[in-house]
Each structure stands twice: as C-alpha cells, then as structure tokens.
Amino acid sequence: MPKLSDAGEKAVIQHLISLFDPKSLQDIGDDCAILDSGDSFLLVTTDMITRATHMPENASPEDIGWYAAAVNLSDIAAMGGRPIGTLFAIGLPADTEEEWLDRLASGIHECCSRYGVPVIGGDTKENPSLTISGTAVGRVPKSQILRRSGARPGDILAMTGKLGRGIAWELSGDANAILRVEPRVHEGQLLAESGAVTSCIDMSDGLSASVHHLSKAGNVGFSVEADRLPLLDGLKASDREKAMHWGGDYELLFTVNPKKADSLFQSDLGCPVTGIGTVTEDKAIMLLKGDGKKHLPDRGYEHFRGARS
Amino acid sequence: MPKLSDAGEKAVIQHLISLFDPKSLQDIGDDCAILDSGDSFLLVTTDMITRATHMPENASPEDIGWYAAAVNLSDIAAMGGRPIGTLFAIGLPADTEEEWLDRLASGIHECCSRYGVPVIGGDTKENPSLTISGTAVGRVPKSQILRRSGARPGDILAMTGKLGRGIAWELSGDANAILRVEPRVHEGQLLAESGAVTSCIDMSDGLSASVHHLSKAGNVGFSVEADRLPLLDGLKASDREKAMHWGGDYELLFTVNPKKADSLFQSDLGCPVTGIGTVTEDKAIMLLKGDGKKHLPDRGYEHFRGARS
C-alpha cells in the first residue's frame, strides 16, 4: 500500500486537489484561495507548522509564534493582498507551561502587530505534539491580484530581499535565522499596485521549486542567472547553489513586464529588489552560470519525504 | 509553574484573548470572527480536531473527515451565515497510507458538498499525530447576524434537533453517533432571516456550557425546563441530565423574541425546534424539573483537563 512517505507532499496535495471541487482547482494552485467579494477578491490561506518539521530544538516560543504568523501573512503578500485578520488553532501537550504559551502568543502578536493585522480568532486543543495552524484573510482589488500564472516570454524574473536563511541557520545555529522571516506584506501590495508584475509567488519552498511553480502555472520557461542571485550577508558565492534549493526564505519571486520594469526597479519598495533572470518561450528552466548553462532542477523541501537530492 | 492541564481550555482561551488585540475581544467571544465587508459581515472560524481528543478508536477516516468539516460549518451556522468556502490543514504521520488519506478527503468532501460549500484550499504537513485544522468562511447580511449576546428577559430559549449524541455513542459504540454531526447550516440562515432570534450559539460544548455562554454574553439568566429537553430516539428520560453536560451535539441553542415566536415555531425550519426554557432578568441559571428547581452548573467538556464533574 503506498504511503505518504513514498509520494511526497506535492503529490499528496495534487491528489487531494483532484478529490475536491474541480471549480476550485485553479485557486488551490495559488498561495491563497480566492473568493469573490464585489470589487475585490478575498484571499484566504491556512498553513500548519509542527514541532517535528519546522522548529529547531533551540527555537524560543516567541520565534515559533512569529513564524506561524509570518508564513500565513507571506501567502497573502504573494498575491498582492492586504491582510485583514488572522486566526490561530493551536494544539498543545497538556503539560505545556502557561508561561510558554504566553510567550508563543506574544510572538504571534508581535508579528501580526508589525504588519498591522489583528488576531481575530482561534482555537486551542490538546495534542501530543505542538501544532499551530494559522489562517490569514486578506483583500486585493480585482484588477491588482497577483497569481502564479501570467508570466510572458520576455518578462524579467526578479525577487525581493536576499537568499540564504537556511544556510545562515546552518552556519550560526541561530533559530532566529529561519524563524524570524519577514513576510513582504507592504512590498507585495506595492508590486500589485504597480501594474508591472505579471506573476508572483512566495519562495517558501525554495527558489528552484518556486521557479518551477511559476513555469508550470504560466506555461513558460526561465533562464536564471546564478551570479545575480543576492545572498544574505556572511554567505559566500559558493553557497549560491545550495541557497537556491533551501526553503524558508519567504521572499517574493515575480515576473515583470519589461516595458514597465524601469519605473518599478527605480521605485522605493522598502527592500532590495533584484532582477535574476528572464522568462523564455522555451519551457525549460535553465541556470546560467559564467559561460555555462544547465537545467535547474526542482529540489525544494517536501514534507513526508524530506529534502530531495 | 502552572500548566495548561491545571487551567483548562476556557481559561487558556480567555488568557490568550487578553494577550491579543482588545478591539477583537468581542468578536473572539462569538463562534466566528467577524470582518466588515460592505453590506455583510464575513465570518471566519478555525477549529482543530486531533486524534487524541476527538476520535474514537473505531472511527473511519470518512467519519473523521466529515466531522472536521461539520464542526467548522456549525460555527458559521451559529451566526446565521452562509458558508462560502472551507480550507483544511492536515497533519499526518509519514506512514499514513494513501488510501486512508483518500477516505479522509472523501469524508470532508461529502460533508462540504452536502451543504453546498466548496473546499477552496488547504495544507498538508507531516505530524506525529493526526491533526486536522479546518477553516470556514461565511457571509451574513449585517442586519441578520446572530451573536451570543442579545438575549432579553422574557425571550424563549429554544434548540434545533435533539440532544444526546454522546450518550448514543456510549450505548452503541458507534463512532458515527458522535462524528456524523449535522451542522445546522440551512436552519441557522432561516433563524437569521426570521428576525425573531435574539442570540444564538452552537452546542459544541454541551447544553449546560452553552446556556452559560449565552448568559455571560447577554448578561441575563435562564430557566431551563428539564422535562422539555428533546432526546434522540433510544434514549431514556433518565439520560436527560447527562445529555445536558455532554458536548458534541452541534445543535443550535437560541433565544426568541416572544412576540415573534409563534410565526417562527410554525414555520418549517427543516428540523424539529423545541422551546426548552426562558430568559430571566435574574442572572442565575436554573434547571426546573417537576416541581423542583436547582442551579444548572457549567459542566461542559474542556480540553486539557477533560470533562468536569
């Protein structure tokens, strides 16, 4: 009997999608589900984080709380939305100390406050292993919504911020490095308002997996220029390849109409934005490095079977 | 150091509420969070169910899936809302068989389809113990929303359906009895449209706990007439007291303006509706039985410390 550990998370999710309502199919492929709401779309997302999968041993409860909020806000950001509320269902062992829960809640609250989003509800249950399921609700004007689909040959591939949180964590052992992610909430809205962005995703699964997602959704290929990938301070050029396949950066990866690119790149988005490649008609996803060129494999992290190599 | 097992779930939730945004306080007290959306309110709720807490050993995956969907839809129903989408974050052990997950998904799908609600998104993660966190989104016209607050002295206390799923399960050992709950989605909307209902809650925590919730939210008392409590077929009058304190019935408990009660009780809600008491100015919550009268304690199930006695 096939087990989930054989299939991997993406296959499991694809399979689940096939079991549900076909009308929802295209929406399930995006970072958030989409509901019609007059002039705007409502965006809704739920992300579960678990002690086993996401939390370094030395993670503080504040860091875990921050992360649980940030990953959900990041999904709203990836579609250009303004988050309007979050909810958290928290499963906890019965012997959890109240102080620990207070600190977890203060991490959730700190992140949501930073981005101006109220915590509007939740649930707590007893569970053998810490499990936090966040829900974020957002809103985006219909004309501005960013989807995974939409990239056109000739568009510029770009990203916010820098790559390499996973490697920074490996080097430092500091849980902050991977848990204190900054969801690009403000930046996502500016990208949506610019009218220059043709597709967008957050890089929670890693750069390589995210490029593959945009490729599949847009039915296009990509050339990614390895030497242009921006790395976090303290990382070396030799870390680039690894950084492409690590998940957890939660930066936005997006494509830009070349005619509108200048004004976008010259505007102040509040964080660095870097052009890292181009969209191609040829469906292949190529990594350009010096004079060389090779296929960029899809090697992001997958739950149930771990990182693929 | 105090642990959650000392405090009980309600104290934990109250404590969490105090840590979050005071503006959200009143909304967190209801079955759903409320967001402004033009002429209507958006309702959002998240409920986590866990292998440890909610699932009899012999529960089928279809039953578990149905239950995970139903408890979230029930929260929307309790506020008079029309559910417009659901999402499910599912944590599963890596050795889960694919067929088992298919059956779980088919239970979720069956319940959502029954109530005309699309599954619009979700997440799956590896987790040592099965954990399903559902989210439901609904909409209700602003003038029709049902809240826990609003009961006025002289109102009639009423409920949909019948009591006693927990006891039926104890007697039969059949997991269906407590997992195949019927969220009162259609009935909740009719109650909201009637203009006759002054407050409402779903009885997920049991009748006694739910009356206490309405009492606290509305700053009123109640007289509950034990002999009028409608029991499921196969239960005896002597089961009544126990049935009041069991959670899991997911019927709606609501208060009705006496001037509008006749037309409401004469209308076809699609399920039995029974008047079981009255709202009193005196804040006490009394149980009337034959000629006797005693306080009705708040003895619903609480996570972290189990049923109280």
- Please state the separation of Cα A56 from the chain's center in Å: 19
A200 has a chain B CB within 8 A of its CB:
no
Residue of B nearest to A130 (CA): B127
Q: What pLDDT, on the 0 to 100 scale, is given for residue B247? A: 84
Cβ–Cβ gap A101/B12 under 8 Å: yes
Residue ranges, comma separated, of all CATH 3.30.1330.10 domains in chain A are 31-143
Q: What pLDDT, on the 0 to 100 scale, is given for residue B199? A: 98
Domain B147-299 part of CATH 3.90.650.10: yes
User: Which of A131, A202, A204 has the most B C-beta neighbours within 10 Å, making it the best mutation to test the interface with B?
Assistant: A131
Is the pLDDT score of B27 beyond 60? no
Please list every residue in chain A whose beta carbon sits closer than 8 Å to the beta carbon of residue B302.
none
ipTM score here?
Answer: 0.91
Q: pLDDT tens across B197-229, in order?
A: 999 999 998 999 999 999 999 999 999 999 999
Partners of B121 in the beta sheet?
B87
Cβ–Cβ gap A28/B99 under 8 Å: no
Q: With bands split at pLDDT 50, 70 and 90, how would you rate the model's confidence at B309?
A: very low
A69-78, B253-262, B293-302: least confident range: B293-302
How would CATH label the architecture of B31-143? 2-Layer Sandwich (3.30)
B56 has a chain A CB within 8 A of its CB:
no
Please list every residue in chain B whose beta carbon sits closer than 8 Å to the beta carbon of residue A126.
4, 50, 52-53, 303-304
Q: pLDDT tens across A226-283, in order?
A: 999 999 999 999 999 899 998 889 999 999 999 999 999 999 998 999 999 999 999 9
Residue of A nearest to B13 (CA): A124
Q: With bands split at pLDDT 50, 70 and 90, how would you rate the model's confidence at A28?
A: low
Is the pLDDT score of B28 beyond 90? no
Cβ–Cβ gap B124/A13 under 8 Å: yes
A101 has a chain B CB within 8 A of its CB:
yes
Q: What pLDDT, on the 0 to 100 scale, is given for residue B187? A: 98
Q: What pLDDT, on the 0 to 100 scale, is given for residue A308? A: 40
Q: pLDDT tens across A169-213, in order?
A: 989 999 888 999 999 999 999 999 999 999 999 999 899 999 999
Q: pLDDT tens across A37-89, in order?
A: 999 999 999 999 998 777 888 899 999 999 999 999 999 999 999 999 999 99
Single pTM value for the model: 0.92
Is the pLDDT score of A294 beyond 60? yes
A23-32, A164-173, B55-64, B284-293: least confident range: A23-32
Residue ranges, comma separated, of all CATH 3.90.650.10 domains in chain B are 147-299
Q: What is the 3-state secondary structure (H, E, C) of chain B?
A: CCEHHHHCHHHHHHHHHHHCCHHHHHHHCCCCEEEEECCEEEEEEEEEEEHHHHCCCCCCHHHHHHHHHHHHHHHHHHCCCEEEEEEEEEEECCCCEHHHHHHHHHHHHHHHHHCCCCEEEEEEEECCCCEEEEEEEEEEEHHHCCCCCCCCCCCEEEEECCECHHHHHHHHCCCHHHHCCCCCHHHHHHHHHHCCEEEEEECCCCHHHHHHHHHHHHCCEEEEEHHHCCECCCCCHHHHHHHHHCCCCCCEEEEECHHHHHHHHHCCCCCCEEEEEEEECCCCEEEEECCEEEECCCCCEECCCEECC
- Shortest Cα distance from A97 to chain B (angstroms)? 4
A99 has a chain B CB within 8 A of its CB:
yes
Using CA atoms, how far apart are residues A270 and A228, in angstroms rounded to an integer?
20
Q: What pLDDT, on the 0 to 100 scale, is given for residue A65? A: 97
Q: pLDDT tens across B158-196, in order?
A: 999 999 999 999 899 998 889 999 999 999 999 999 999
A48 has a chain B CB within 8 A of its CB:
yes
The token pair at B45 is 């709720």
Q: pLDDT tens across B71-121, in order?
A: 999 999 999 999 999 999 999 998 999 899 999 999 999 999 999 999 999
Question: Which percentage of chain B shows pLDDT scores above 90?
Answer: 74
Mean pLDDT of B36-49: 94
Q: What pLDDT, on the 0 to 100 scale, is given for residue B51? A: 85
Residue of A nearest to B36 (CA): A84
How would CATH label the architecture of A147-307? Alpha-Beta Complex (3.90)
